[in-house]
Amino acid sequence: MIAKITYLIAFSFFSTMIVTTPHRHLRTMRGVDLADHGFGGRLMTSLILKRLGIGLITVLAVSVIIFFGTKILPGDAAQIRMGQQATPENVAALREKLGLDKSYVMQYLTWLGNFVRGDLGISLSSDVPIMNLISDRYKNTLFVSVLTAIIGVPISLMLGIMAAMFPGSLYDRILTFISVTLVAAPEFFTATLMVLLFVFALGIGNAVVVGSVEGKGFFELIAHFALPITTLSFVIASQLIRMSRAAVLNVMSSPYIEMAILKGVPRKRIIFRHALLNAIGPIVNVVALNLAYLVTGVIVVEIYFGYSGLATLIVQGVQTRDFVLVQGLGMIFCLTYVILMLIADIAAYASNPRLRHPK
Amino acid sequence: MTDSPNQNEVIFEAKNLQISAIRDDGSELPIVKGVDFKVKRGEVVALIGESGSGKTTISLSALGYCKPGLKFAGGEALLLGKDVSKMSTDELRPSRGINVAYLAQSAAATFNPSIKINEQVTESPVLHKTKTQAEANEKALKLYHALELPDPENIGDRFPHQVSGGQLQRLMAAMALCGEPDLLVLDEPTTALDVTTQIEVLKAFKQVIKEEGAAAIYVTHDLAVVAQIADHIVVLYSGEVKESGPTDIIINRPQHPYTKRLMNAIKPLPEAGQGESSSDEYLRKDPALATKDVDAGYGGLDADGAPKIPVLRDINVAIERGKTVGIIGESGCGKSTLARVMAGLLPAAGGEVLLHGETLPPALANRTRDQLQKVQFVYQMADTALNPRQKIADILGRPIEFYLGLKGAAKRQRVDELLDMVELPRQFADRYPHELSGGQKQRVNLARALAAEPEVVLCDEVTSALDTIVGANVIELLKRLRRETGVSFVFISHDLSTVSNFADEIVVLYAGRVAEQGSTDKVLSPPYHPYTRLLVSSVPETRIGWLEEASQTREAKAGVSGAVKLTKQGCPFFERCPLAIPGTCETIDPPQRLDGAGHIIECHREVSELGG
């Protein structure tokens, strides 16, 4: 069990690496002034197309790893689905029906083809189409992550940028202390603090998220998910604050910022007009990584507050040896990463005047 | 600022000015040790000295600014009578950009890459409310015209990367002048430019300073530039004033020994007769390294096998054994690319690179260890070329072990010999690169190339990042190594003066083509290729009034406004050439004019037309 979870974690980490690597590669490519060599307006389009291509290759590569990675695990899908009592004949019949008697390559192609059409197969443990399992859960995940993003991201960025405006000040030091503490604190610890503070000390909110989201209005939903959203906001805030502060400070040491100081430009304008424009690239990157985490990595928070989302679903899949479920969710997580990183990269390209306005 | 026409009005005065660096342990290290000087209205005062003399730090004090890690430690910096060294950033803000403006060394780094030029040029007066946006735009447009920028109506709408380096340098002047400051602080504003660009920028600066009636502090290490632009010179060494006085006196009758040393370090003008030829002992007629019809470029190959971004076209160069070949040209001409092709770092797209008459595989990866050993590369920036986490003994030991197979004590002995060879103490073997000065690091960099016992060493701008005096010492070392080892050097530089007193032969590269090549004396005496003539006539002389004469020459008039542009056919210098023959030069590749003694000029003009 532990081995399997380790495997799963290593596996998702590996996929993430693949997703982010081509992006770094392109980043260095930008250092070469392609724009200076008369590539013209096609440059931006060709870069985006190239990036799309890399994203597609990444998804395919991850699909290979997911499919054959789950095949390595012991156990046979037909056997698992039929249970211990099944006769060999029954199992063989199901194997044939599921296409498990065909070669791995054929199985992979069929599986990939079904995935493209939106058919993720049927769960081994519950005989329900995976799509149904997921659609029950994604509403919770989506609501929590979107709200966390809407509340957490802008506040964190503002705090980080303000820290960069006054580096070394009391405000900066306090914020650094808090955000470093939060980075170090595990999610369940932050969650416990939230529960202690709000539920027991202040008497507001629920320690456990119970009941269906059906039929609830927007504000009822916020109250419903208040504590998980707060906890997750703290978790992503720490990294976003550190990174946006570092990105802006990095730009603040450029000669053009010194020039702005020597031109008598006020500090506020230096940050918001001169520095921020050039820090967009690294900042959108961190934001995208954190958003991907909100969709795929919030296992502890989901379990702690007892609401069911996508992250707990994949853990359940591993526990029940439901390979088909793990495969489907793995692909969905991969797509989430690839799409978010794609958006971040295109935003970074768009913020680069050399690409937007070639010579 | 024209409201006070009093020529004797003191704009800036440093009185016993002291600035200290704050060390990690909190103690203070004096950097500027009690400096006094005055700048009057309409006057240009030059601060000269080597790096580390505190000249930039002193010039920034006029803005009440200290670089991070420095602080004012005493004395006064009086700008229009107010001591700016004791004012806070908020108190200083109204005068920055309006009373005093700053021009930095690198305009490319000083312009914000994400904001359009005009907004940056007009930002200061608009923010300080001394001008409305419309008034500031009008002023900027006037300055664009005065600075002879191309397409002045629209240049402000571009982003900084969309204009050339020389144009950006002039735009920075417009940015400084837009607020009509009383005092301009110029920090090495032409040092990073090619000589041809330097002339036009200097001319523009000088004229605009005069027309605007501003005063200026001009920081530089280049005495030739000072002679053109300054009225008054302050010589600095280690944070102290060694000598100061009118330009004429300092240049022609220096008193202080340090000033005399600076004057001696001025490189002689590139003329025939300086080239020190290599000793005959190692000379052989067969070329050690040669290129044959080499084409190269970046960005991959297109359908017909040519690079997408062509840089070099039909390069034929031969480096004879034991000789030094200088490669010169402006930035963007393909000098470094040629060295990279020879080294195999950039595989040639067409043609061949020959070592001892044998064709070398184009790519580094396919060359044998033997072939690799014979061609070594020395990079411009020793700082980035030396691994900061390796000791000098390891840096030099690796090629010794790799190419010569020496280990243990034998390797260590070879390291010691190499250090002796580049005139560094043997104890340096146990130091890290950051414990060495810039000149010393460059020597280690050279020693590393020599460790392989090569036949050809490719030196890419190895003295460009060094101070004049340090750079001159490295050249002396190279001369000695050439005499003692018989290694052939390919010496790439944009600095014609350095090349002319070191190289046996010179290759003049323009836009990826050889314009002229031959022995140093032949190349630097008539007949010239028109481009060589432009380069030679652009090297500033330490003579007052030279700038005005130089900008009147035929070459300067035709050549200054151009930028290096690569063409697929014909002579790429066509657009900047005073002797261009329209209809011929831009369409047909120029013929080689040979004199029979290895001197080649590629030009449509007859040799007789290129003389005199």
Q: What is the overall mean pLDDT for chain B?
A: 85
**B348's tokens:** 């040639």
Cβ(B578)–Cβ(B502) under 8 Å? no
A186 interfacial to chain B (CB closer than 8 Å): no
**Cα–Cα dist B516/B533, whole Å:** 11
Distance between B98 CA and the closest CA of chain A, angstroms: 8
**Contact flag A256-B113 (C-beta cutoff 8 Å):** yes
CB atoms B128 and A37 under 8 Å: no
Query: In chain A, positions 217-256, which contact chain B (CB-CB < 8 Å)?
Result: 254-256
**B164: distance to nearest CA of chain A, Å?**
10
- Is residue A177 scored above 80 in pLDDT? yes
Cβ partners under 8 Å of residue A256, min gap 6: A274, B109, B110, B111, B112, B113
A37 and B298 within 8 Å at the Cβ level: the answer is yes
Q: Taking residues B179-185, what's their average pLDDT?
A: 90
Predicted local confidence at residue A248, as pLDDT: 92
Mutate to test the interface with A, among B88, B121, B161, B186 (most CBs of A within 10 A): B161
Q: Tell me, what's the pLDDT at A166?
A: 86
Burial class (CB in 10 A: 0-12, 13-18, 19+), A146: middle
Lowest mean pLDDT of A81-85, B187-191, B454-458, B582-586, name the range. A81-85
Rounded to the nearest angstrom, the gap between the alpha carbon of residue B455 and the centroid of all alpha carbons in its chain is 28
Q: Do A265 and B111 touch (CB under 8 A)?
A: no
Structure tokens at B497: 């003066």
Taking the model in full, what pTM does it have? 0.75
- List of chain A residues whose C-beta atoms are within 8 Å of the C-beta of residue B127: 263-266, 269
- Which residue in chain B has the smallest CA separation from A355? B161
> Do B101 and A263 lie within an 8 Å CB cutoff?
yes
- Pick the residue from chain A with its C-alpha nearest to B112: A256
In chain B, the residue whose alpha carbon lies closest to the alpha carbon of A350 is: B114
Q: Residue B96 carries which DSSP code? A: B
Q: Which of A37, A264, A353 sits opposite B309 (nearest CB)?
A: A37
Q: Which chain A residues are Cβ-neighbours of B92 within 8 angstroms?
A: 264
Chain B residues with CB-CB distance to A36 below 8 A: 161
Cβ pairs A/B, distance under 8 A = 82
Listed residue (B177, B176, B155, B173) closest to B164, CA to CA = B155
- CA end-to-end span of chain B: 48
Q: Which chain A residues are within 8 Å of B97, Cβ to Cβ? A: 262-264
In chain B, residues 261-300 whose CB comes closer than 8 Å to chain A: 298-299
pLDDT band at A339 (very low <50, low <70, confident <90, very high): very high
Which tokens sit at B280?
């005959």
**pLDDT number for residue B284:** 55
Does any CB of chain A come closer than 8 Å to the CB of residue B159?
yes
- Residue A52 CA to residue A34 CA, distance in Å, equals 19
Show residues of chain B in contact with A266, CB under 8 Å: 93, 127
* Residues present in chain B in total: 612
**Full DSSP string of B114-162:** TS-HHHHHHHHHHHTTSS-HHHHHHHHHHHHHHTT-SSTTTGGGS-GGG
Tell me, yes or no, if A42 comes closer than 8 A to chain B by beta carbon: no
Task: Report the phi/psi class of residue B593: left, alpha or beta, with left for phi > 0 and alpha for psi in -120 to 50.
Answer: beta
pLDDT score recorded for residue B51: 77
CB contact under 8 A, B299 and A351: no
Q: CB contact, 8 Å: B302 with chain A?
A: no
Chain A hits for B161, Cβ within 8 Å: 33, 35-36, 353-354, 359
**A contacts of B181 (beta carbons < 8 Å):** none
Q: How far is B162 from chain A (nearest CA, A)?
A: 5
The SS3 call for residue B102 is strand
Confidence of residue B437 (pLDDT cuts 50, 70, 90): confident
Task: Give the max Cα distance, chain A.
Answer: 85
Please say if the pLDDT value at position A39 is more than 50: no
- Give the CA distances from residue A144 to residues A12, A301, A302, B133, in Å, rounded to whole numbers and listed in that order: 21, 11, 10, 47
The contacts found for A71-75 with CB under 8 angstroms, 24 or more apart, are: A71/A104, A71/A323, A73/A4, A73/A321, A73/A323, A75/A321, A75/A323
Which member of A278, A351, A353 has the closest CB to residue B161?
A353
CA-based nearest distance A357→chain B, Å: 8
Instruction: For residue A354, give how far its alpha carbon lies from the nearest alpha carbon of chain B (Å).
Output: 7
Asked if B443 and B462 count as a contact pair (C-beta separation under 8 A), the reply is no
| SS3 sequence of A107-137 | HHHHHHHHHHCCCCCECCCCCCEHHHHHHHH
Given A256, A265, A278, which is nearest B127 (Cβ)?
A265
Closest residue on chain A to B124 (Cα): A263
Confidence of residue B498 (pLDDT cuts 50, 70, 90): confident
Q: What is the pLDDT of residue A21?
A: 42
pLDDT, position A16: 47
Taking the Cβ of residue A350 and every Cβ of chain B, the question of whether any pair is shorter than 8 Å is answered with no
Please give the pLDDT value at position A37: 40
Residue with tokens 């002679």: B227
Q: Which residue in the set A262, A266, A274 is minimally distant from B63, CB to CB?
A: A262
Residue A262, chain B, CB below 8 Å: the answer is yes
Q: Is B162 on the interface with A (CB under 8 A)?
A: yes
Nearest beta carbon to residue A262 from set B65, B94, B162: B65
pLDDT band at B598 (very low <50, low <70, confident <90, very high): confident
pLDDT at A89 over 70: yes
Whole-number pLDDT of residue A304: 86
- Higher-pLDDT residue of A78, B237: B237
A353 and B92: CB-CB below 8 Å? no
Task: Say if residues B127 and A266 touch (Cβ distance below 8 Å).
Answer: yes
Mean pLDDT of the region B241-247: 92
Query: Are B159 and A36 a contacting pair at CB < 8 A?
Result: no
CA distance B127 to chain A (A): 7
Q: Is the minimum CB–CB distance between B89 and chain A shorter than 8 Å? A: yes
Starting at the edge strand that comes first in sequence, how are the strands of the sheet with B592-594 ordered? B375-378, B456-460, B488-492, B324-328, B505-510, B513-519, B600-602, B592-594
CB contact under 8 A, A351 and B114: yes
Contact A259 B93 (CB under 8 A): no
Task: Assign B3 a pLDDT band (cuts: 50, 70, 90).
Answer: very low
Q: Chain B contacts of A33, Cβ < 8 Å?
A: 161
Q: How far is A275 from chain B (nearest CA, A)?
A: 9
ipTM of the complex: 0.74
Question: Residue B470 and residue B161: Cα distance in Å, rounded?
Answer: 33
CA B101 – CA B180 distance, rounded (Å) = 9
Tokens of A176: 């650094």
Q: Does the pLDDT value for residue A18 go beyond 50?
A: no
B133: closest CA of chain A, how far (Å):
15
Least confident piece of the model among A94-103, A290-299, B152-161: A94-103
- What digits encode the pLDDT tens for the residues A232-265? 998 899 889 999 999 999 999 889 999 999 999 9
A359 interfacial to chain B (CB closer than 8 Å): yes
Confidence of residue B559 (pLDDT cuts 50, 70, 90): low
Residue B275: pLDDT band by 50, 70, 90 thresholds?
A: low
In this prediction, residues B298-316 reach a mean pLDDT of: 81
Q: What is the pLDDT of residue A87?
A: 81
Question: B102 contacts in A (CB within 8 Å)?
Answer: 259, 262-263
**Minimum mean pLDDT among A205-214, B52-61, B286-295, B326-335: which range?**
A205-214
Instruction: For residue B122, give how far its alpha carbon lies from the nearest alpha carbon of chain A (Å).
Output: 10
